[in-house]
């Protein structure tokens, strides 16, 4: 037994040396689950590993994701949604139950490497008014106490992912940074508490939203290779809003005696659809330059040591709230099914790779029948019906399917409904206005989707479980030899 373990150790060590040589990096990203057809968690975990992601952030303690991340070598930040804050703030017992079920359980039973609990998500966002101002800090304190009680105080740290609107600068320069007056005292208390407990401060920074919200925002300043319109702050010249925003926070921290506070960027990224600035070219330009900075270990002018950066986001989510804008459903560096949207280099010329083993529904689409008349009032009614249920965000003005003519527009809506209902037989009827076709109606850049076959994936999973075999010693010996050959030790 001991011998086999030793062999395994050697094997893993050699494989490890191989991957290091190839430049596998410690990238981090957000994994959101607001999809009608989420990828199976085991496929997502493989996707993360194949693309050099060593850390992942979840917005909720999703059992499927947390189990699949068990013994994956990926560190996890698990989130607590805002609607749970009141209950967790009201009693330490509730917090203990939460930590027991959603943290301790996965660490001890599945080997999930949970390192952070993210209490709340952007709770002090201006648009929330004061909704979570009274519950966030008590919930944080109760969760911290529960983590200590569970014996996880060393291993699991608390944090609160905050929107960058918790700080501001009256001078317009990063050096003028300080916390927002209405939550100033609360922010100081929270940061002190995080510092006392070894937890980092987590901030979400969105150059895309700066550009999207302000028609006068200098576009190039949202990107990293900008040379025009720099911002001069004393001896520092800022060429991009990301650094300027981050250093506004660093100034705020320094001013209040927290100059050494560790900071994590909880979300940053660029969407690919449903806004004039949201497209594949801009997303690629922004995210590639961001990745390059992460890979090179580049910090900001005021803080040279780089923060940990969680990309937003791994995959598109077709059921995400569109309150901030339709682009909300298109933040992924991958499409909803883990296919590639645009090439990215994750270090040393290594390209990102698509998800493997994804099973799809049949190659067929639901479209407007050639015999249907567009003036039939049922057509408009049917589109409204389909789009209430399915994601039609890409049909909007300036979006990837915004240029379709009226007939194709109807087809797109019908198909989205048909796919979202898993190609259910009766879901391509629309008062006899629709037909099924096997000819792909896509017109670049507009993609007529085919959804993932959730049923097939569930079947595969239940089969996989029963046939899981233990690896006999002969195979481990063989692997050792193989590892030597691969690594070129001979």
Ligand X SMILES: *[C@@H]1O[C@H](CO)[C@@H](O)[C@H](O)[C@H]1NC(C)=O
Residue 91 in contact with ligand X, rule: CB under 6 A: no
| Tokens 């917005």, residue located | 59
Strand partners, 114: 76
Q: How far is the CB of 481 from ligand X (least distance, A)?
A: 44
Q: How far is the CB of 224 from ligand X (least distance, A)?
A: 8
Nearer of residues 101 and 305 to ligand X, judged by Cβ: 101
- Find, among 212, 203, 216, 217, the residue nearest to 273 by Cα: 212
Binding mask 347-376 for ligand X (x = CB under 6 A): ------------------------------
Q: How far is the CB of 383 from ligand X (least distance, A)?
A: 5
Whether 220 is a known active-site residue: answer no
Q: How far apart are CA 42 and CA 64, in angstroms?
A: 9
Residues between 278 and 307 with contacts to ligand X, criterion CB under 6 A: 285
Q: Give the interface segment with ligand X, choosing from 223-231, 341-349, 447-455, 476-484 (CB under 6 A).
A: 223-231
Q: How far is the CB of 94 from ligand X (least distance, A)?
A: 6
SS3 for 183?
helix
Residue 406 in contact with ligand X, rule: CB under 6 A: yes
Q: How far is the CB of 409 from ligand X (least distance, A)?
A: 4
Chain centroid to CA 89: 27
Residue 387 in contact with ligand X, rule: CB under 6 A: yes
Q: How far apart are CA 311 and CA 336, in angstroms?
A: 16
Sign of CA dihedral 280, 285, 289, 292: positive
Whether 458 is a known active-site residue: answer no
Residues contacting residue 387 through CB under 8 Å, at least 6 positions apart: 395, 413, 416, 417
Sign of CA dihedral 213, 217, 218, 223: negative
> Which one of 75, 96, 267, 449 is the catalytic residue?
267
Tokens of 110: 């599945």
Residue 227 in contact with ligand X, rule: CB under 6 A: yes
First to last CA, the chain: 26
Residue 150 in contact with ligand X, rule: CB under 6 A: no
Report the residue from 49, 50, 60, 236 that binds ligand X according to the rule CB under 6 A. 60
Report the residue from 27, 56, 61, 166 that binds ligand X according to the rule CB under 6 A. 61
Q: Please, what is the Cα angle at 482 between 476 and 487, to 5 degrees?
A: 125
Positions marked catalytic = 122, 267
**Interface ranges with ligand X (CB under 6 A):** 36, 60-61, 94, 97-98, 101-102, 225-227, 285, 319, 383, 387, 392, 395, 406, 409, 431-432
């Amino acid at each position: 037994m001991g011998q086999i373990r030793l062999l395994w150790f050697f094997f893993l060590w050699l494989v490890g040396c191989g991957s290091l040589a190839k430049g596998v990096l410690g990238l981090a990203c957000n994994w959101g689950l607001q999809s009608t057809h989420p990828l199976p968690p085991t496929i997502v975990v493989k996707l993360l590993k194949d693309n050099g992601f060593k850390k992942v952030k979840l917005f909720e303690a999703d059992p499927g994701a947390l189990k699949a991340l068990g013994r994956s070598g990926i560190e996890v930040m698990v989130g607590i949604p805002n609607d749970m804050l009141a209950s967790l703030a009201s009693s330490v017992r509730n917090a203990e139950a939460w930590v027991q079920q959603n943290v301790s359980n996965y660490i001890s039973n599945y080997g999930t490497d949970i390192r952070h609990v993210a209490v709340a998500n952007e709770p002090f966002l201006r648009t929330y008014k004061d909704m979570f101002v009274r519950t966030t800090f008590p919930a944080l304190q109760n969760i911290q106490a529960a983590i200590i009680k569970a014996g996880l105080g060393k291993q699991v740290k608390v944090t609160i992912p905050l929107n960058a609107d918790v700080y501001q600068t009256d001078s317009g320069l990063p050096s003028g940074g300080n916390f927002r007056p209405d939550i100033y005292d609360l922010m100081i208390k929270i940061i002190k508490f995080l510092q006392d407990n070894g937890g980092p401060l987590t901030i979400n920074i969105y150059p895309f939203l700066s550009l999207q919200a302000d028609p006068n925002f200098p576009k190039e300043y949202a990107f990293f290779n900008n040379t025009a319109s720099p911002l001069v702050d004393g001896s520092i010249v800022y060429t991009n809003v990301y650094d300027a925003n981050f250093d506004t926070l660093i100034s705020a921290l320094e001013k209040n005696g927290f100059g050494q506070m560790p900071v994590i960027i909880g979300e940053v990224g660029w969407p690919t659809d449903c806004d004039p600035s949201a497209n594949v070219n801009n997303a690629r330009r922004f995210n590639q330059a961001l990745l390059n900075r992460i890979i090179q270990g580049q910090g900001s002018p005021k803080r040279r040591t780089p923060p940990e950066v969680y990309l937003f986001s791994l995959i598109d989510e077709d059921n995400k709230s569109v309150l901030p804008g339709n682009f909300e459903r298109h933040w992924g560096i991958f499409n909803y099914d883990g296919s590639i949207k645009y090439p990215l280099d994750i270090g040393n010329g290594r390209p990102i790779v698509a998800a493997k083993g994804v099973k799809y529904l049949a190659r067929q689409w639901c479209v407007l029948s050639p015999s249907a008349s567009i003036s039939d009032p049922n057509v408009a009614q049917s589109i409204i019906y389909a789009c209430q249920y399915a994601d039609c965000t890409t049909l909007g003005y300036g979006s990837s399917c915004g240029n379709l003519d009226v007939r194709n527009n109807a087809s797109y809506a019908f198909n989205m409904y048909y796919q979202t209902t898993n190609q259910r037989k009766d879901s391509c009827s629309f008062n006899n206005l629709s037909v099924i076709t096997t000819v792909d109606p896509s017109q670049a850049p507009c993609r007529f989707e085919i959804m993932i076959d959730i049923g097939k994936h569930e079947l595969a999973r239940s089969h996989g479980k029963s046939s899981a075999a233990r690896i006999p010693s002969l195979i481990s010996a063989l692997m050792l030899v193989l590892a030597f050959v691969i690594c070129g030790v001979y």
